[in-house]
Amino acid sequence: MKKIQINSSATIFENLSELPKEDFDLMHCAIEARRKAYAPYSKFNVGAALLLNNGKIMTGNNQENAAYPSGMCAERVAIWKAGSEFPDMIVKKIAITAASSETEVNKPVGPCGACRQTLSEYEINQKQPIEIIFMGEIGQVVKTESLLSLLPFSFDSSYL
Ligand code: THU
């Protein structure tokens, strides 16, 4: 028996304006996308923006449904939109932001487990890390250097 240590690190920025320019600009695209979210049930609007290494930015937002489980998260809308348009894409980074009409979202909102799993497939295939940058509506911004650093012991195609 042995115990192992799992390390992952994140950079915390005190607010949006501390971000490097490329990340700041990408987060603004995510904010624009968030404003167009369709979230009449949860009132929790999420926006995501991906920067591809061809320079293209692809955005997405959550799309809810009266049959609740039929809705979809912003991150998966964005990455599937990107993957369907650019099947050979390399994703450099993704910015994510969330805001609610019910409460002030003032702490960073990380991607849900299903979105982490979905993003991990792309990170593994492209053999290059995807930086994840996430925030609420205001307040701190978290940046991690890869998706897999957020998802230790993840499931992948090697098990199949
Ligand atoms: N949501 C996202 O868009 N991304 C996440 O990573 C977590 C949750 C959406 C789904 C749903 O429309 C709303 O937020 C509340 O869960």
What pLDDT is recorded for position 96? 98
Query: Residue 66 has what pLDDT?
Result: 98
Q: What is the pLDDT of residue 75?
A: 98
Q: Is the CB of 64 under 6 A from ligand 1?
A: yes
Model pLDDT, residue 78: 98
Nearest atom (ligand 1) to Cα of 62: 3
To the query of whether residue 64 is one of the catalytic residues in this protein, the response is: no
* Domain residue ranges of the chain, discontinuous segments joined by +: 24-148
Ligand 1 atom with the shortest distance to the CA of 63: 12
Distance, in Å, from the CA atom of 69 to the CA atom of 123, rounded to the nearest integer, reads 26
Give the fold, CATH level 3, of 24-148: Cytidine Deaminase; domain 2 (3.40.140)
Atom of ligand 1 nearest to the CA of 61: 3
> What is the residue type of 93?
K
Give the pTM.
0.97
Query: What does the pLDDT read at residue 45?
Result: 98
Q: Is the CB of 46 under 6 A from ligand 1?
A: yes
- From start to end of 5-159, where are the E strands? 10-13, 44-52, 57-61, 91-100, 131-135, 141-144
The segments of the chain whose pLDDT lies below 50 read none
Counting Cα atoms < 13 Å in the Cβ hemisphere of 146 gives: 15
* Protein residue with least CA distance to atom 9, ligand 1: 73
Catalytic residue among 75, 104, 121, 123: 75
Q: Is residue 103 a contact partner of residue 43, using CB atoms and an 8 Å limit?
A: no
Cα–Cα distance, 26 to 57 (Å, whole number): 8
